[in-house]
């Protein structure tokens, strides 16, 4: 079987490299630098200052959200109280300057109340992550070149750190290259369930992803009937992303939170998938060619 795989690294260079623009005068960067040393200076610039407000708000998200409601409600009562205290009838007309001041204060109180309500309504639902049941495993296909192994491990580390991913399985060219993270425990020998690549590749999940050539995000795995085709993932995996690697493989990424992968994560995962496809494709073309030569 000859697999001619043309190395396609589609990294479009910037088409508008404009070096023909007439130089503007940028007086700022013509700095007479008197340092002639070759050693780079160490960084002595300002360190970023801590933004206390931002830290406070992020930490006390819930109470800050309802703060404007309390402020607005309290001021509303205070205005009425003030009126009662000074013996003026609470009539909302703009006749006297007292009433006008009161009305303006009321308007502001209502603004605060409404803003507080808006903030409360857009509070994102907190979804707790669920610890996956299974065993930790790290299974790599033997005899892979070191550069491929480091690339696969790098992909796993990035996913682990930056997303809610807890399991990763990469199948390429019919071989399971890596199974790492949490995996389902097989009942017989209490070790990780081995990935059955034939079963996976003949299943509807894989076929669907290959046909559409697009990433498939199963945000709530328990609702998905194709769950049985991924037996190697822990049974309580909450979300799964299936990223096709070109048209020869797929990366199965399991997460521990329902809808845990944000749209930013999805974009990053598809970029990482393209890179893996480029790297793996090159490696497998080379090995195909070398096996062809040894056959002949």
Tell me whether residue 129 or residue 174 sits nearer to other proteins (CB atom).
129
**C-alpha to C-alpha distance for 10 and 218, rounded to whole angstroms:** 27
Interface residues for other proteins in 24-83 (CB under 8 A)? 24, 26, 28-29, 31, 33, 35, 40-49, 51, 53-54, 57-58, 61, 64-65, 68, 71, 75, 78-79, 82-83
Tell me whether residue 137 or residue 241 sits nearer to other proteins (CB atom).
241
Copy the structure tokens of residue 166: 């807890």
Copy the structure tokens of residue 81: 């109280």
Q: Does 214 bind other proteins (CB under 8 A)?
A: yes
Q: Does 127 bind other proteins (CB under 8 A)?
A: yes
SS3 197: helix
Residue 143: beta bridge partners? none
Tell me whether residue 43 or residue 143 sits nearer to other proteins (CB atom).
43
Q: How near is the Cβ of 65 to other proteins at its closest, in Å?
A: 7
Interface residues for other proteins in 171-210 (CB under 8 A)? none
* Structural contact between residues 113 and 73, judged by C-beta atoms closer than 8 angstroms: yes
Q: How near is the Cβ of 222 to other proteins at its closest, in Å?
A: 13
Centroid of chain to Cα 164: 8
**The binder of other proteins chosen from 130, 219, 227, 236 (CB under 8 A):** 219
Tell me whether residue 58 or residue 202 sits nearer to other proteins (CB atom).
58
**The binder of other proteins chosen from 36, 121, 143, 228 (CB under 8 A):** 121
- Kindly list the distances between the CA atom of residue 253 and the CA atoms of 87, 163, 183, 201, 256, in Å, as whole numbers in the listed order: 69, 10, 11, 16, 10
Q: How near is the Cβ of 90 to other proteins at its closest, in Å?
A: 12
Q: Does 149 bind other proteins (CB under 8 A)?
A: no
Interface residues for other proteins in 231-290 (CB under 8 A)? 257, 259-268, 271, 275, 278
**C-alpha to C-alpha distance for 239 and 252, rounded to whole angstroms:** 10
Task: Give CA torsion, residues 260, 264, 267, 273, to 10 deg.
Answer: -60
Q: Does 91 bind other proteins (CB under 8 A)?
A: no
**The binder of other proteins chosen from 13, 92, 143, 188 (CB under 8 A):** 13
**The binder of other proteins chosen from 4, 6, 93, 124 (CB under 8 A):** 124
Tell me whether residue 125 or residue 190 sits nearer to other proteins (CB atom).
125
- Kindly list the distances between the CA atom of residue 258 and the CA atoms of 56, 130, 280, in Å, as whole numbers in the listed order: 28, 9, 30
**C-alpha to C-alpha distance for 70 and 58, rounded to whole angstroms:** 19
Q: Does 225 bind other proteins (CB under 8 A)?
A: no
**CA angle in degrees (0–180, nearest 5) for 144-146-151:** 95
At residue 132, φ and ψ (nearest 5 deg) are: -70, 140
């Amino acid at each position: 079987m000859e697999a001619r795989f043309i190395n396609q690294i589609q990294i479009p260079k910037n088409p508008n490299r404009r070096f023909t623009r007439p130089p503007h005068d940028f007086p700022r960067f013509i700095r007479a630098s008197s340092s002639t040393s070759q050693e780079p200076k160490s960084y002595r610039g300002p360190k970023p200052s801590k933004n206390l407000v931002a830290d406070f708000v992020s930490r006390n998200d819930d109470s800050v959200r309802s703060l404007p409601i309390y402020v607005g409600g309290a001021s509303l009562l205070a205005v009425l109280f003030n009126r009662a205290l000074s013996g003026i009838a609470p009539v909302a007309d703009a006749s006297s300057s007292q009433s006008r001041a009161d009305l303006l204060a009321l308007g502001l109180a209502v603004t605060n109340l409404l803003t507080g309500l808006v903030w409360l309504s857009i509070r994102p639902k907190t979804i707790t992550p669920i610890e996956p049941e299974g065993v930790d495993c790290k299974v790599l296909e033997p005899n892979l070149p070191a550069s491929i192994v480091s690339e696969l491990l790098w992909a796993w580390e990035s996913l682990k750190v930056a997303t809610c991913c807890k399991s990763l399985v990469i199948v390429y060219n019919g071989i399971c290259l890596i199974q790492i993270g949490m995996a389902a425990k097989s009942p017989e020998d209490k070790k990780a369930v081995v990935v059955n690549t034939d079963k996976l590749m003949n299943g509807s999940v894989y076929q669907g992803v290959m046909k559409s050539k697009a990433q498939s995000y199963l945000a709530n795995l328990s609702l998905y009937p194709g769950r049985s085709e991924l037996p190697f993932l822990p049974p309580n995996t909450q979300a799964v992303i299936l990223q096709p690697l070109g048209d020869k493989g797929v990366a199965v990424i399991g997460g521990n939170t329902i809808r845990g992968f944000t749209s930013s994560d999805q974009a990053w995962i598809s970029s990482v998938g393209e890179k893996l496809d480029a790297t793996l494709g090159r490696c497998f073309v080379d090995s195909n060619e070398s096996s062809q030569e040894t056959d002949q």
